[in-house]
Amino acid sequence: MNGETLTILPALPELILAVGAMALLMLGVFRGDKSYRQVANLSILLLVFCAVVMINQVGGEREVIFGDMFVTDAFAVFAKTLVYIGSAVAILIAGKFLSEHNIAKFEYPILILFATLGMLIMISANNLMSLYVGLELQSLSLYVLAAMNRDRLRSTEAGLKYFVLGALSSGMLLYGISLIYGFSGSTDFDVLATSLRGEGGAPIGVVIGLVFLLAGLAFKVSAVPFHMWTPDVYEGSPTPVTAFFAAAPKVAAMALLVRAMINGFPALIAEWQQVIVFISIASMLVGSFVALVQTNIKRLMAYSSIGHIGYALVGLAAGTQDGIEALLVYLAIYLTMTLGAFAAILSMRRNDGMVEDIDDLAGLSTTNLPMAVAIAIFMFSLAGIPLLAGFFGKWFIFLAAVEAGLVPLAIIGFLASVVACYYYLRIVKVMFFDESAGAFEGGHGQAVSAVVGVAAVLNSPVSFLLIWPLVGAAAWAAGSLLF
């Protein structure tokens, strides 16, 4: 029937991705481990194809299908585009690393595809049930990815740690959902939004449930105080996997958090706002201060990402349309900085394997100036220094906070960013001011160079020209959420 095909159209990219991922899984199973390259290339193509289908066929019109479980709108299109980019780049930069570590298995791209599918469902979730289903599909894939390097203790430890703590947070999430359902009678965002708006305020059970829900989601975005897993998992996982963790799942979980709060609980804004303000401040401070003493660059990036999630949450804490717009701009810029920085970390290699200490970067400016300049651009951008893209992210985020009257939050955030600046500067110092500790050896592959190059250009002052289109797109996306 014609009507039937129309109703599944909004989920078409997800359906294609699910079917495609399974087909590629079959291909991998039948052709064995040597099929890695083929499966990886086809996976990237599949992601690009799904993204094109999403932009061309689905568009930004708000549509709700599957019994109000699944929603597509401009917000979803924006966030999903970022997720597609993050996932595709994670597959793209992995090839050389995986084959050198003898873990070039076809499962890697397949797992990323399934995780991506989970993220897409998370972003489009319009119901606490579909939220949970998407989140679990994503999380289970990520647990396995973290433990990909089975022969390495660190990697399996990372996977196990991630799984145990992740299961705990899923438990909290489910407990919160059950409380919300029990006290309000629905799991649907639209129904919740209208029913909680009623007279006499929300039942206390819903508020408690909401706090549990937030705790579970804070774990997924690795916000303080639910961040403990992040440094260990980032350090232990294979670097391409870490790059993936730091980018796409963060975007998806943030989008999910935003939609759940703005669409599902607009009536309880006073309740969740204080929680978000707290975890935002805590994340910014922990991200800044604890990173000061890190020597491993992946651990440092873990704390850096905790801090950045704190900044992004400022936009949600503002609770306004401008705040959401700023959050989306921030996520887009964060994505380019993070992917670029991790791709650059993949180039830190000597003949006897990968090196991960910050001191191994010493004197990079004399041995490989373009790479040193690119890393410096990422670091200054992460620090939010003007001239680079990261500054625009901070500007819009804190502008929204000031507009919403959260001036103290903005001041704390900026002071934390000055502290954070110290360790970003330290990396620049090691690369430019210190004596060389020997050049990096061996090729890191053209894909890594290309990603580093593109990301560096996007973060450089070229971003002056790109910022306005980005802000326009984010405004379009933020406007589609129900306010």
Partner 1 sequence: MSFLQNNLLSLMMIMPVLGAAILLIIRHTDAEIEKRNIRQVSLLITTITFVMSLVLWFGFDNGTAEFQFVEQHAWIGDDISYYIGVDGISMLFVVLTAFLMPLVVLASWDSIHDRVREYMIAFLILETLMIGVFTALDIFLFYIFFEGGLIPMYLLIGVWGGVNRIYASFKFFLYTLLGSVLMLVAVMYMYLQAGTTEIPQLMNYSFDTDVQKWLWLAFFASFAVKMPMWPVHTWLPDAHVQAPTGGSVILAGVLLKMGGYGFLRFSLPMLPEATVEFSWLIFTLSIIAIIATSLIALVQEDIKKLIAYSSVAHMGFVTIGIFLLNVNGVEGAIFTMLSHGVVSGALFLCVGVIYDRLHTREISRYGGLATNMKIYATIFVLFSMASIGLPGTSGFIGEFLVLNGSFAYNSWIAFLAATGVVLGAAYMLYLVRRLIFGVLDKDDVKAMPDLTLREKLVFAPLVAVVLWMGIYPNSFLEPMHASVSALLENHFTTDISHASTDTLGAPAGR
Sign of the dihedral defined by the CA atoms of residues 93, 97, 99, 102, in that order: negative
CB closer to partner 1 out of 107 and 322: 322
User: CB of 455: closest distance to partner 1 in angstroms?
Assistant: 18
The CA distance from 151 to 153, in Å, is 6
Q: Which residue has the tokens 């708006």?
A: 197
| Pair of tokens at residue 412 | 């704390």
The CA distance from 115 to 37, in Å, is 19
CB of 109 closer than 8 Å to CB of 121: no
Name the CA dihedral angle for 279, 283, 284, 287, rounded to a multiple of 10 degrees: 170
Q: Which residue has the tokens 């973290």?
A: 146
Question: Is 476 among the residues that bind partner 1 (CB under 8 A)?
Answer: no
CB closer to partner 1 out of 63 and 403: 403
Distance, C-alpha 14 to centroid of its chain: 19
Contact positions with partner 1 (CB under 8 A) in 157-216: none
CB closer to partner 1 out of 205 and 479: 479
| Pair of tokens at residue 107 | 């499962």
User: CB of 363: closest distance to partner 1 in angstroms?
Assistant: 11
Question: Is 429 among the residues that bind partner 1 (CB under 8 A)?
Answer: yes
Distance, C-alpha 251 to centroid of its chain: 3
The window from 24-32, 194-202, 340-348, 421-429 that contacts partner 1 (CB under 8 A) reads 421-429
CB of 381 closer than 8 Å to CB of 459: yes
> Per-residue x/- mask for partner 1, residues 352 to 371, rule CB under 8 A?
-------------x---x--
Work out the burial of residue 5: count CB atoms within 10 Å of its CB; fewer than 13 is exposed, 13-18 middle, 19 or more buried: exposed
In the list 174, 471, 479, 482, the residue contacting partner 1 (rule: CB under 8 A) is 471
The window from 115-123, 173-181, 244-252, 416-424 that contacts partner 1 (CB under 8 A) reads 416-424
| Pair of tokens at residue 456 | 């560096």
In the list 230, 283, 294, 417, the residue contacting partner 1 (rule: CB under 8 A) is 417
The window from 86-94, 102-110, 206-214, 466-474 that contacts partner 1 (CB under 8 A) reads 466-474
Map residue 349 onto helix, strand or coil: strand
Question: Is 402 among the residues that bind partner 1 (CB under 8 A)?
Answer: yes
Question: Is 403 among the residues that bind partner 1 (CB under 8 A)?
Answer: yes
User: CB of 314: closest distance to partner 1 in angstroms?
Assistant: 12
User: CB of 45: closest distance to partner 1 in angstroms?
Assistant: 35
Question: Is 292 among the residues that bind partner 1 (CB under 8 A)?
Answer: no
Contact positions with partner 1 (CB under 8 A) in 370-389: 380, 385-387
User: CB of 425: closest distance to partner 1 in angstroms?
Assistant: 6
Binding-site size, partner 1 (CB under 8 A): 30
Beta 349-350 vs 353-354: how paired, if at all?
A: antiparallel
CA–CA distance from 43 to each of 66, 109, 116, 211 (Å)? 27, 6, 11, 38
CB closer to partner 1 out of 252 and 428: 428
Among 406, 165, 176, which Cα is nearest to 280's?
406
Residues that bind partner 1 (CB under 8 A): 365, 369, 380, 385-387, 391, 395, 398-399, 402-403, 407, 410-411, 414-415, 417-418, 421-422, 425, 428-429, 432-433, 464, 467-468, 471
